[in-house]
Amino acid sequence: MHRRDPRAKIAALMVFLVVLATAHRALPVLGLALVLLLSAALIWARLPLFSALARAAIVLPFSLIFAAVCWLSGDPARGFSLLLKSYLSALAVLLVVSTTPFPALLRGLETIGAPRFLLMVVQFLYRYLFVISEEAQHMTIAAASRGATVRGVMAGARFRAAAGALAVLFARSYGRAEDIHRSMLARGFQGRFQPAAALRFRATDAVFMLFASLAPVLLRATVERAL
Amino acid sequence: MLPWKAIVHIPDGFLSTPVWATMDVAAAPAVAYIVRRAQRGFDDARVPLLGVMGAFVFAAQMINFPVGIGTTSHLVGGALLAYTLGPAAASVVMSAIIAIQALVFQDGGILAMGANLINMALVGVLAGYLPFYLWGGGRWHKWAIFAGGALSLMVSAVLALAELLISGVPMPASVLGVSLALFVVSALLEGAITLAVIQALETIQPGFVRKPETGRSFALGAIGLAAVLLAAVGVLVASTAPDGIEKLGLQVGIASHVRSLVTTPLTGYQAAFFQTGWLRKASGGLAGLALIYGACLLIGRAVARKRSA
């Protein structure tokens, strides 16, 4: 599954999400069926099943609050629907993103019409996300060692200190971006990014897309007809 | 991270089909437009800057600001980006952030991404930039920045809430009240943090923060802002009490006009389609949204006319 064309996976994902979003009947059974479908796909893709299932549960705390409100307002079915749909959506996205290298995913999005400029920004963001986050972490540790989290210090001073830390992080990030730009120019950047290696949609991708898209549709049709 | 800050990223499964579909359809050309605007005059060399600034916002959300007994808050960043990179580039960066949050962290849905983009990357950034654009040049510089930070968060949150309500997510008055109160507090904190960071930036390197033009009419700006706020409140009220608004509309005779406007071109179709609840609810909310866009357009035209006068 890792080697399938990203566009096939994106298309299958969209079909899955729309089938899920528009489903209103027999949700428990359909939900179970779709979880099994995604689990099968995860196993086929040789991804660790339980950590994927757990990772998708990241949406649950937020959904649980709303589900609780629904339940207390007398609409438990809706609450269950919120939980189920948000969880399944997260699991499906996790599946696609874990089986597709990030640049290939963005290239797939580009071929279906997403603006290239935006996708390039996304790519650079992703690339520097961990670098800058680490820098921010170092700064917070350094600040903590200088007593920034000590309760005794006035909140106003700590507030300003945090603002100062952010400003320094901003300046460093900005400077880093300028360094990147300069090294790009030094390596002969002409002014426009060229599209990356072309994606090739093969017969196996078409077959995959067909089956992967049909699966949730058929599951839903079967469940709704049977119940 | 405070729980209510998460409320602005709507996951899949919360919005009803007409709402998420409409938002996706509306967001696509809007994002394409703002990307083209951000690219204007610059080659792709801008990309690393925007990417790195997006990474900065992510990382910045890890830095905690003490705001009371044992609680901390963090920056969301739309207004800060607008004041340093300009509103179009800020929208692009926020869009990239929303995309990464949905894809990599499963924070925010895929079908719901149109709504999230409109709330945070488009209208949120615009609302944050508006006070700065109007008053950032004069004596009210600091208040403009504070107001912008607060407004960007408030408008994003209110829009998200309205979309949830129109979709039929139950929200009893008490929950609604608590949510709104939390939004107000978060908005004020965002304003304070944005201002503090901008002030620190101006100390490090004044060139980072943009210089808006001076001499804008305070009154015009205030009226414009009031219009936007009224429209936003209007959307919220319309979505909480669609039947009330409908009754009012019937009394005033507007609703029948709107409905005939909508249904006449489609009278050949099944009448059942239009009797479903969502159209009644949606017309209230969408009318409110149209009010906001109209107000923004009018403000923009009026300010532009005043500038050239």
- Contact flag A180-B93 (C-beta cutoff 8 Å): no
Q: Does A32 touch chain B (CB under 8 A)?
A: no
Per-residue model confidence as pLDDT tens digits over B19-45: 999 999 999 999 999 999 888 866 677
Q: Does A211 touch chain B (CB under 8 A)?
A: no
**CA–CA separation, B263 and B98 (whole Å):** 36
**CA–CA separation, A143 and A153 (whole Å):** 13
Which class is B1-214 in CATH?
mainly alpha
- Contact flag B12-A17 (C-beta cutoff 8 Å): yes
Residues of B in contact with A56 (CB under 8 A): 106
Per-residue model confidence as pLDDT tens digits over A49-94: 999 999 988 888 888 888 888 888 888 888 899 999 999 999 999 9
**Could you tell me which residues come within 8 angstroms of residue A51 by beta carbon, excluding any fewer than 6 positions away?**
none
Q: Taking the C-alpha atoms of A201, A203, A205 and A209 in order, what is their torsion angle to the nearest 10 degrees?
A: 120
φ and ψ at residue B72, rounded to 5 degrees? -130, 160
Per-residue pLDDT of chain B (309 residues; tens, 9 = 90+): 334 454 468 999 999 999 999 999 999 999 999 999 888 866 677 788 888 888 988 888 777 776 665 566 777 788 999 998 889 999 999 999 999 999 998 888 999 999 999 999 999 999 999 888 888 777 788 899 999 999 999 999 889 989 998 988 888 888 888 888 888 888 898 898 899 888 888 888 777 777 766 555 555 666 666 666 666 666 666 655 555 555 555 555 554 555 555 444 444 333 333 444 445 544 555 555 556 656 666 665 666 566 555
| Domain spans, chain B | 1-214, 217-309
Long-range contacts from B250-256, C-beta under 8 angstroms, 24+ separation: B255/B283
A177: its two tokens: 């971006």
| ipTM rounded to 2 decimals | 0.90
- Contact flag B66-A137 (C-beta cutoff 8 Å): no
| Domain spans, chain A | 6-109+199-226, 115-186
Q: How far is B254 from chain A (nearest CA, A)?
A: 32
* Local structure of A22: helix, strand or coil: coil
**Could you tell me which residues come within 8 angstroms of residue A171 by beta carbon, excluding any fewer than 6 positions away?**
B201, B204, B205, B208
Residues of B in contact with A169 (CB under 8 A): 56, 59-60, 63
pTM (2 d.p.)? 0.81
